[in-house]
């Protein structure tokens, strides 16, 4: 089966939203690309909405024990963009991206994290071969009993060999059941070149 891709399998639910001012999310890309995207979006936005440089303080958001902020704070365009980027990246790095990725450390520039790729298993049976196209005549639940009821991404619905043996068994009324049907004996990707040292006449006479 094809590996999961964000664009066609995840984006429908995970929008990568970063700020209520925008309907679009950040690109599903490296932290450097995401940071550059945020700089561009917020810089363009504040240039078109300069009135937002004056930010009225919302007293309902005060935290007990914290100093009371001024009723109105006036930003420069650079300060406003930097503050909004900090808020957006705090959301992305600490919550959104962590749903699928492990984050480590920070790079020297902009203190951006290092995001590990999602570890998706592409081949579940590394010592055997399986082709779903050959089994298109069967419903999913024929082999994957909980396919329609599973709700957890951690569920491993791989059937055991007993399921395979329901069809792959000895006898003319069953599918091929010998080892070679599912297993490859030699991994030709690891073959080593052989340097020939004999010739046929020498082999016939027993000489070298």
Per-residue pLDDT tens digits for 81-91: 999 999 999 99
Give the end of a domain, one of 84, 115, 146: 115
| Domain-terminating residue out of 74, 99, 115 | 115
Q: Tell me the residue range of the domain where 51 lies.
A: 6-115
Residue 1 domain-assigned? no
89, 115, 141 — which closes off a domain? 115
Mean pLDDT, the chain, rounded, equals: 84
- Stated pTM of the model: 0.61
Q: What is the pLDDT of residue 1?
A: 59
Query: If you write DSSP's letter for every residue of the chain in order, what string do you get?
Result: -PPP-IIIIITTT------TT-SS---SS-HHHHHHHHHHHHHHHHHH-GGGGEEE--GGGPPTTSPPPPSEEE--HHHHHHHHHHHHHHHIIIIIGGGT--EEEE-SSTTPEEEPPP---S-S-TTS---GGGGTTS-HHHH-TTTTT---TT---PPPHHHHHTTB-SSTTSB--SGGGT--S--GGG---------HHHHHHT--
* All residues at 6 or more sequence positions from 125 whose CB lies less than 8 Å from its CB, including other chains: 158
Mean of pLDDT values over 175-204: 79
Q: Is the pLDDT of residue 22 over 60?
A: yes
Are 203 and 174 found together in one domain? yes
Per-residue pLDDT tens over the stretch 113-149: 988 887 777 778 888 888 888 888 889 899 998 888 9
Q: Provide the pLDDT confidence category of residue 71 given band limits of 50, 70 and 90.
A: low
Q: What is the pLDDT of residue 70?
A: 60
């Amino acid at each position: 089966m094809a590996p999961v891709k964000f664009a066609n399998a995840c984006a429908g639910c995970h929008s990568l939203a970063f700020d209520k001012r925008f309907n679009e999310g950040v690109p599903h890309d490296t932290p450097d690309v995401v940071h550059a995207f945020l700089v561009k979006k917020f810089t363009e936005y504040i240039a078109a909405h300069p009135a937002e440089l004056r930010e009225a303080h919302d007293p309902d958001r005060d935290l007990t024990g914290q100093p009371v902020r001024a009723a109105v704070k006036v930003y420069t365009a650079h300060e406003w963009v930097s503050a909004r980027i900090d808020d957006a990246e705090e959301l992305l790095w600490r919550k959104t991206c962590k749903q699928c990725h492990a984050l480590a450390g920070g790079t020297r520039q902009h203190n951006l994290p290092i995001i590990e790729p999602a570890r998706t298993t592409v081949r579940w049976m590394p010592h055997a071969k399986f082709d779903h196209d050959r089994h298109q005549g069967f419903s999913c639940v024929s082999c994957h009993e909980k396919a329609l009821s599973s709700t957890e991404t951690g569920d491993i619905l791989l059937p055991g060999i007993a399921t395979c043996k329901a069809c792959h068994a000895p006898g003319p009324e069953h599918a091929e059941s010998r080892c070679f049907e599912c297993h490859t004996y030699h991994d030709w990707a690891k073959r080593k070149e052989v340097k020939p040292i004999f010739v046929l006449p020498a082999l016939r006479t027993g000489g070298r």
